[in-house]
Amino acid sequence: MVRPIEARFICSVLQADQFPKTNLPEIAFIGRSNVGKSSLLNALLGSKGLAKTSGKPGKTQTINFFEVEKKRYFVDLPGYGYARVAKSVKEEWGRHMMAYLQDRVSLQLIVLLLDGRHEPMDNDLHILDLLEEIEKPTLIVTTKIDKVKRALRKKQQEITRQALGLDEDALIIAASSVTGEGLRDIWEVIRDL
């Protein structure tokens, strides 16, 4: 696991005019509802409850900013693909998230989280296409890897790689917020920005 990192919650917003004014680099975490975004953030920060988590999909409904080590911001984005939210709410989330992802100058890295137990779904592929269009650096992390038998992990990563149409040398980090696997690798990418 990661030693506790100095971090604090800054704000929870939805609209671009509410985003914090900062020159610090930002790392955004995006993924399906219930993929483990908030849990991974807490694990990366060595904190149990800084980012609010829930067993129910759709807990994160705003864009949440966390200042990390007074050097960068981690940004927890609402999950996509949650069916029990009104269509108008989903569309509003989508507009504000795309505005953030496309227009935010301080955004240095997007961490796309995929459930490591399953093949990527259609909306995962759609999000990856959108991220490629906006040409921001993207790191792919497969979560919940502790729930995949060790003997099947390499095969599951290859299934993910093929489904995403990625080259053999493309970096995909397998991670677990439970065991800490992959957290150092994620930090290495972030600190190399």
pTM of the model: 0.91
Q: Quick check: 32 and 121 in contact, CB under 8 A?
A: yes
Q: Is residue 1 part of a domain?
A: no
| Phi and psi, residue 146, nearest 5° | -65, -20
For residue 86, what pLDDT is reported?
Answer: 67
Measured distance CA(137)–CA(126) in Å, rounded: 16
pLDDT, one tens digit for every residue, the chain (193 residues): 678 899 999 999 988 889 999 999 999 999 998 899 989 999 999 998 887 775 554 555 788 999 999 999 999 998 887 656 667 666 776 777 888 999 999 999 999 999 999 999 999 999 999 999 999 999 999 999 999 999 999 999 999 999 999 998 899 999 999 999 999 999 999 999 8
Distance in Å from the first CA to the final CA of the chain: 22
CATH number at residue 112: 3.40.50.300
| CA distances for 37 relative to 21, 68, 168, 193, angstroms | 24, 16, 25, 20
21: number of CA atoms within 13 Å, CB side? 1
Q: Is residue 2 part of a domain?
A: no
For residue 151, what pLDDT is reported?
Answer: 95
For residue 83, what pLDDT is reported?
Answer: 54
For residue 82, what pLDDT is reported?
Answer: 64
Measured distance CA(106)–CA(24) in Å, rounded: 7
Q: Is residue 150 part of a domain?
A: yes
For residue 17, what pLDDT is reported?
Answer: 86
Tally of domains in the chain? 1
Q: Is residue 90 part of a domain?
A: yes
Segments in 9-149 forming alpha helices (H):
37-45, 87-103, 122-134
Q: How many C-beta neighbours within 10 Å does residue 92 have?
A: 15
* Domain membership of residue 28 as a residue range: 7-191
Q: Is residue 49 part of a domain?
A: yes
Closest of 82, 79, 7 to residue 42, by C-alpha: 7
Angle (nearest 5°) at CA 136 between 57 and 163: 60
Q: Is residue 174 part of a domain?
A: yes
